[in-house]
């Protein structure tokens, strides 16, 4: 109920303070007040405010007024950051550096979101533009934060304006889906990489040649390669447990058994057992070395992750069906593998047959 309190000012005039209080189960859950020069204005405001607060969700919005997008991102990272990969975390941290992060998460409008997207697409001082698929990640990860805020914390983040803005941005092609990479290394490029990685050097403690070959014949990502352990090997089935395998639903605890090709098994067998891990190296260092090798050798647009795609395409070229390839790659959705059946038709043969770097199966 609202109450009107009359107060006398220092100059002798009167002020009328309207107090709006809302209780639930005997407890005060919301309070708001304003001061007016006329009692009629105070009464009108308090009556109108009470009606506004009776609208569905209005009280909840007022209780969380002032919560910024940055506040939600920080809480999201703190409570759920352990369950997703570093790329998502990095993108959310970066999102906090924009003006959008300081906006009220409840009062956010679609216009403010579209303005952020348009600004992100502007060229920088060097004339470079952020790709539409990268900007689209802003909306994707922000939607994850807003959904969690609404369902887990009861904070009515502006999800509908976000969805409206995303639809407009897609329609106007301000954002877009990531392009599927079809880059495959040639035998000549692999010869260059492995030849350079095999050169003796006191500074090269990481066996990059074997790691490159293992990625090429196992489909494993660089961080997965550096996590698998000797204890998880199953010599009878020639399989290994990959801990925390990347997954859209969360990587933490997603330990998957995958099978090893003969070539991948052979590479593992020649590694020294000097640690719990088969490849006891920093995955970031592996990626940095690979990138440096490609730059030094003049190999354009080749990423370590392309070795995973190459192996999947190669397995299809050998005549493997989707379930068998999935047992090696770890894909849970077979539909994700269907595009590789198309890519593999470009080279309908076993391109590594007779290749000098192909490991001999260990019997």
- Residue-wise pLDDT for 87-146, tens only, equals 888 999 999 999 999 999 988 999 999 999 999 999 887 888 898 999 999 999 999 999
pLDDT of residue 363: 41
pLDDT of residue 122: 92
Query: Would you place residue 362 in the very low, low, confident or very high pLDDT band (cuts 50, 70, 90)?
Result: very low
Same domain membership, residue 256 and residue 295: yes
Query: Would you place residue 202 in the very low, low, confident or very high pLDDT band (cuts 50, 70, 90)?
Result: low
Listed residue (137, 56, 66) closest to 106, CA to CA: 66
pLDDT 10s digits, 235-255: 999 999 998 887 655 555 578
Query: Would you place residue 83 in the very low, low, confident or very high pLDDT band (cuts 50, 70, 90)?
Result: confident
Same domain membership, residue 295 and residue 235: yes
Same domain membership, residue 114 and residue 245: no
* Residue 360 scores a pLDDT above 80: no
pLDDT of residue 191: 96
Query: Would you place residue 58 in the very low, low, confident or very high pLDDT band (cuts 50, 70, 90)?
Result: low
Domain that holds residue 39: 2-63
Q: Higher-confidence residue: 54 or 67?
A: 67
Number of domains in the chain: 3
Is 58 a domain residue?
yes
Query: Would you place residue 222 in the very low, low, confident or very high pLDDT band (cuts 50, 70, 90)?
Result: very high
Mean pLDDT along residues 179-192: 90
Last residue of a domain, one of 171, 201, 233: 171
* Residue 344 scores a pLDDT above 60: no
Is 254 a domain residue?
yes
pLDDT of residue 251: 58
CB 219 within 8 A of CB 329: yes
Residues 18 and 128: their CA atoms lie apart, in Å, by 55
Is 363 a domain residue?
no
* Residue 346 scores a pLDDT above 60: no
Is 180 a domain residue?
no
Mean pLDDT along residues 175-200: 89
Is 359 a domain residue?
no
Does the predicted model carry a pTM greater than 0.85? Answer: no
Mean pLDDT of the chain: 87
Query: Would you place residue 349 in the very low, low, confident or very high pLDDT band (cuts 50, 70, 90)?
Result: low
Same domain membership, residue 193 and residue 146: no
3-state secondary structure labels for all residues of the chain? CEEEEEEECCCCCEEEEEEEEEEECCEEEEEEEEEECCHHHHHHHHHHHHHHHCCCCHHHHHHCCCCEHHHHHHHHHHHHHHHCCHHHHHHHHHHCCCHHHHCECCCCCHHHHHHHHHHHCCCCCCCCCCCHHHHHHHHHHHHHHHHHHHHHCCCCCCHHHHHHHHHHHHHCCCCCCCCCCCCCCCHHHHHHHHHHHCCCCCCCCCCHHHHHHHHHHHCCCHHHHCCCEHHHEECCCCEEEECCCCCCCCCCCCCEEEECCHHHHHHHHCCCCCCCECCCCCHHHHHHHHHHHHHHHCCCCCCCCHHHHHHHHHHHHCCCCHHHHHHHHCCCCHHHHHHHHHHHHHCCCCCCCCCCCCCCCCC
pLDDT of residue 244: 80
Share of the chain above pLDDT 70, in %: 90
Same domain membership, residue 342 and residue 207: yes
* Residue 154 scores a pLDDT above 90: no
């Amino acid at each position: 109920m609202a109450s009107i309190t009359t107060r006398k000012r220092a100059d002798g005039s009167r002020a009328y303070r309207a107090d709006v209080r809302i209780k639930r189960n005997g407890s005060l859950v919301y309070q708001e007040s304003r001061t007016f020069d006329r009692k009629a204005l105070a009464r009108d405001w308090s009556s109108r405010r009470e009606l506004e607060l009776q609208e569905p969700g209005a009280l909840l919005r007022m209780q969380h007024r002032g919560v910024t997008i940055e506040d939600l991102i920080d809480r999201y990272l703190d409570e759920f950051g352990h369950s997703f990969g570093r790329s998502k975390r990095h993108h959310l941290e970066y999102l906090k550096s924009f003006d959008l992060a300081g906006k009220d998460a409840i009062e956010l409008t679609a216009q403010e979101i579209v303005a952020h997207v348009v600004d992100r697409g502007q060229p920088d001082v060097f004339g470079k533009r952020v790709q539409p698929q990268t900007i689209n990640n802003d909306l994707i990860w922000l939607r994850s934060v807003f959904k969690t805020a609404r369902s887990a914390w009861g904070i009515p983040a502006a999800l509908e304006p976000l969805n409206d803005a995303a639809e407009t941005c897609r329609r106007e092609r301000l954002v877009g889906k990531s392009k599927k990479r079809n880059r495959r290394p040639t035998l000549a490029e692999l010869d260059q990489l492995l030849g350079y990685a095999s050169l003796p050097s006191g500074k090269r403690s990481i066996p990059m040649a074997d790691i490159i070959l293992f990625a090429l014949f196992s489909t494993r990502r660089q961080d997965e390669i550096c996590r698998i352990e000797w204890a998880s090997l199953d010599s009878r089935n020639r399989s290994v447990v990959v801990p925390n395998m990347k997954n859209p639903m969360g990587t933490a605890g997603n330990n998957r058994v995958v099978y090893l090709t003969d070539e991948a098994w052979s590479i593992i067998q020649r590694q020294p057992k000097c640690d719990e891990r088969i490849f006891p190296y920093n995955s970031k260092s592996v990626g940095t070395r690979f990138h440096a090798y490609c730059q030094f050798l003049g190999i354009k647009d080749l990423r370590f992750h392309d070795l995973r795609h190459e192996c999947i395409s190669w397995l299809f070229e050998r005549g493997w069906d989707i379930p068998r390839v999935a047992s090696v790659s770890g894909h849970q959705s077979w539909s994700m593998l269907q595009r590789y059946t198309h890519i593999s038709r470009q080279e309908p043969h076993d391109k590594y047959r007779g290749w000098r770097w192909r490991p001999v199966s260990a019997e």
